[in-house]
Amino acid sequence: MQAFKNNLTSEDFWLRLVFMVLHLVLLEVAASVLVLLIVAQFLYRLFNAASQPAILKFSNSLGLFIHHSYRFLSYQTQNKPFPFNDWPEAQDMPQQEHKSPAQKD
């Protein structure tokens, strides 16, 4: 019961709620942008042999932002994601394009 009373009067507790609501809104926007990137990459791949590198890189870093936001929202970390920290850099990018089954030699 003491924790409940402390949380009700804690400025940090309520400030985290504000950050959580903000990141929930940012996550909705990020998810919508990711859907658009998926469609754009699919359409690009439809007409080209390889993926568009800029879309790959940005969608990778956007996925990391989403991951960091969910970790913050689920209390797995106290580190606030972007815009309160740096935008995540793309990681584990594919080294080369793999040929689709239709492109075999």
| pLDDT of res. 103 | 56
Determine which of 25-29, 60-64, 72-76, 99-103 has the lowest per-residue pLDDT on average: 99-103
| pLDDT of res. 97 | 56
pLDDT in tens, 46-93: 999 899 999 999 999 999 999 999 999 999 999 999 999 999 999 988
The DSSP line for the chain is -HHHHHHHH-HHHHHHHHHHHHHHHHHHHHHHHHHHHHHHHHHHHHHSSS--HHHHHHHHHHHHHHHHHHHHHTTS-----TTSSPPPPP-S--SSPPPPGGG--
Q: Which residue has the tokens 């400025």?
A: 11
- Over 80: is that where the pLDDT of 96 sits? no
**pLDDT category of residue 25 using cuts at 50, 70 and 90:** very high
| pLDDT of res. 10 | 87
53-73 and 11-47 are packed helices; what angle lies between their axes, rounded to 10 degrees?
160
